[in-house]
Structure 1
Amino acid sequence: MSNNPYLLAADNPEACIALLRENPSLASGQDEHGYSLVHAAASYNHLDLLRTLVGEFKVPVDLKDEDGETALFVVETVAAAKVLAEELKLDTTIVNDEGQTAREKIEAEEDYPEVAEYLRGLEGEANTTTTAHGTTNGVTPADLPPAPEGLQVQIGTMNEAENAGEPDPEFRRRIEELASREDFETAEGQAALRQLVEDAILGPRQE
């Protein structure tokens, strides 16, 4: 049987684990290109080996090769990507030396579209804002523009009758449209946000 851990990681993960238990120092090794057993296990979809490397042998899940790429850049299955991102908590926003995330590189190479789609979904979850943290689609209260000049705001409570109405569908549409704009952080995007706030408080402008 070969004693090369990289070959075993590709062809015989159980034997690789046995070898590492005999010689744990091999677990975190990297070859001349920075390729590690974590990369190999992720690439060949040997998930038990991947979990063992990180969990038992304490190999950093974010090891990078010579191109600045973690194991997420070489996965070929959604299952391996899930183990890295969800179980082992590998940061999916890490970029390589070309400035690409794993999702961007996989999309560019067009080899594993289902993996790219899964990673894109994770990005969407990260950007979606949770009420518990007081944010909406990545916008926090601090990001909102100041109230229109001269506007007085009174803080109070509303009874059930006052609060029974459904949100105006037109404002809902405008909010969703604004949240999806790529230029949200620009002056134009902020002006649109300011106008939306004014319309919500004062009512639409009369032409």
Structure 2
Amino acid sequence: MATFGLGQPIQTLPPNSEIDSSTPWMAASEGNLPLLQHCIQTMGLNVNAADENGYTLLHAASSYNQMGIMQFLLSQNVNVHAVDSDGDSALHHAGTAQTTQFLIQVARTNPSLQNAEGKTALQVKMDEVNEMMQDEDIEDDDQDLEKAKEIVTYLSNL
């Protein structure tokens, strides 16, 4: 399968795929570029479209570490500083240090951008780490904790 240098195989559209209003966000979060492109074309969707909570396609891709989708959205001039209803940018939603680094270094996202609570992505991720550390079932979130710590480390070293 071709990967376009992004390390992820290209997916194809499922036969007779049904598209509804949530399909583009699902495609972005799952890394299904052909489906996302199909949705954009058939629905006349703008790459800066947001759901009822202000959650954009870039938010979805960032949350689920879909580098290929983020690269595609950047090539379509997506607004990297768009915020959801909580004032969180895609950087606030980033799921890994690699995603965080991509958003800052490639997409030129402002790491100082504050959400509606006045918190930067670093402060949000530090809160997530602290919350997970206080969780009695930490072993269930161990991988998420490590990812959040890596993001904090990266953002702290900017």
User: What is the TM-score normalised by the length of structure 1?
Assistant: 0.55
Secondary structure of the corresponding residue to residue 62 of structure 1: coil
* Alignment partners' CA distance in 2, 1:40 and 1:49: 9
* Structure 2 counterpart of 1:43: 63
Secondary structure of the corresponding residue to residue 5 of structure 1: helix
From 49, 53, 68, the counterpart of 1:33:
53
1:11 Cα deviation after fit? 2.3
From 139, 149, 152, the counterpart of 1:113:
149
* Alignment partners' CA distance in 2, 1:2 and 1:45: 24
Q: In angstroms, what is the RMSD of aligned CA positions?
A: 1.5
Q: Per-residue CA shift, 1:127-177, capped at 9, x if unaligned?
A: xxxxxxxxxxxxxxxxxxxxxxxxxxxxxxxxxxxxxxxxxxxxxxxxxxx
* Alignment partners' CA distance in 2, 1:2 and 1:114: 38
* Alignment partners' CA distance in 1, 2:24 and 2:73: 12
* Alignment partners' CA distance in 2, 1:71 and 1:60: 10
Q: How does 1:98-137 map to 2 (within 5 A)?
A: 98-110=117-129, 111=145, 112-122=148-158
Stretches of structure 2 that go unaligned for 5 or more consecutive residues are 1-16, 130-144
> How many pairs are equivalent?
121
Q: More relative contact order in 1 or in 2 (CA 8 Å, sep 6+)?
A: 2
Q: Percent identity?
A: 27
* Alignment partners' CA distance in 2, 1:17 and 1:39: 17
Secondary structure of the corresponding residue to residue 27 of structure 1: coil
* Alignment partners' CA distance in 1, 2:84 and 2:154: 23
Closer/same/farther in 2, CA of residues 28 and 2 from structure 1, 3 Å limit = farther
Q: In the alignment, is residue 66 of structure 1 matched against residue 102 of structure 2? A: no
* Structure 2 counterpart of 1:169: none
Whichever residue aligns with residue 86 of structure 2, its letter is D
Q: Per-residue CA shift, 1:76-126, capped at 9, x if unaligned?
A: 11111111000010000001111110001101111411101101111xxxx
Whichever residue aligns with residue 124 of structure 2, its letter is K
Stretches of structure 1 that go unaligned for 5 or more consecutive residues are 123-207
Secondary structure of the corresponding residue to residue 58 of structure 1: coil
Which protein shows a greater Rg? 1
